[in-house]
Amino acid sequence: MTSTMILISACLAGENCKYSGSNNLVEEIRELLKEGKAVAVCPEKDGGLPVPRDPAEIIDDRVISVTGADVTDYYLRGARIGMDVCRHYGCTRAILKANSPSCGPHCVYDGTFTHTLVYDRCGIFAAMLKEAGVECIDETEYIQSLHGGTSK
Ligand code: SF4
């Protein structure tokens, strides 16, 4: 455990925790975990949602599944668990899955389930991390930073 530990979305490290039951593996991010430089969380799974599960999007202040179920409480519970992990490891940086209603650091889908992004809000967990002062980037920005681009 070090103060430089990076918080990552577990699906980016290859955990089959995304709504479809698969993952969003990025080899370079899995390497961080293998090298002991990162700690992985999945706020949706940790909050009590099953894998696989119905996709959900943020509508106003709630998170609603494609079948109309209000799953906000699961998202909030999982985000709080993720914050506990973040604090425990002293993480100041996070690499998060883009566009996720939990993890998306810059934008999320608009609640219409039409793959339409809105850029004026981020995921539930990402919002809590930012509020706590954690630097949040997505997987594309991380890869760009490895190749000399800016991370933000
Ligand atoms: Fe990945 Fe985050 Fe969604 Fe879990 S909640 S599957 S870690 S994007």
Q: What is the pLDDT of residues 31-78, one digit of tens each?
A: 999 999 999 999 999 999 999 999 999 999 999 999 999 999 999 999
Q: Would 49 be classed as within a structural domain?
A: yes
Please work out, in degrees rounded to the nearest 5, the angle formed at the alpha carbon of residue 145 by the alpha carbons of 104 and 34: 75
**Cβ-contact 108, 99 below 8 angstroms:** yes
Relative to the CA of 102, which ligand 1 atom is closest?
5
Asked if 79 contacts 47 with a C-beta cutoff of 8 angstroms, the reply is yes
Q: Distance from the CA of 3 to the center of ligand 1, in angstroms?
A: 23
The rounded Cα 130 to chain-centroid distance in angstroms is 12
The answer to whether 81 and 43 have CB atoms below 8 angstroms apart is: yes
Residue pair 26/32 in contact (Cβ under 8 Å)? The answer is: no
Contacts of 21 by beta carbon, 8 Å cutoff, 6+ apart? 51, 52
Over the chain, what is the mean pLDDT? 95
Residue 3: predicted pLDDT: 52
What lies within 8 Å, CB to CB, of 120 at 6+ separation is none
User: Can you tell me the distance from the alpha carbon of 139 to that of 32, in angstroms, rounded to the nearest whole number?
Assistant: 12
**25 belongs to a structural domain:** yes
Residue 152 lies in a domain: no
| Ligand 1, atom nearest to 24 Cα | 1
Query: What percent of the chain is modeled with pLDDT above 90?
Result: 94
Average pLDDT over residues 105-129: 97
- Compute the distance from residue 80 Cα to the ligand 1 centre, in Å: 14
Stretch 4-16: mean pLDDT, rounded? 97
pTM, two decimal places: 0.95
In a domain, 86, yes or no: yes
Assess if residue 55 is contained within a domain: yes
Tell whether 90 is covered by a domain.
yes
Does a structural domain hold residue 151?
Answer: no
List the alpha helices (DSSP H) in 35-152: 43-46, 72-89, 124-131, 139-146
Number of domains the chain contains: 1
Residues 70-84 pLDDT 10s: 999 999 999 999 999
Band (pLDDT 50/70/90 cuts) for residue 4 is confident
Pocket of ligand 1, beta carbon within 6 A: 9-11, 17-18, 42-45, 97, 100, 102-103
Question: Domain of 29?
Answer: 6-146
Contact in structure between 6 and 32 (CB atoms under 8 Å)? yes
Q: Which of 47, 46, 39 is nearest to 73 (CA)?
A: 47
Residue 63 falls inside a structural domain:
yes
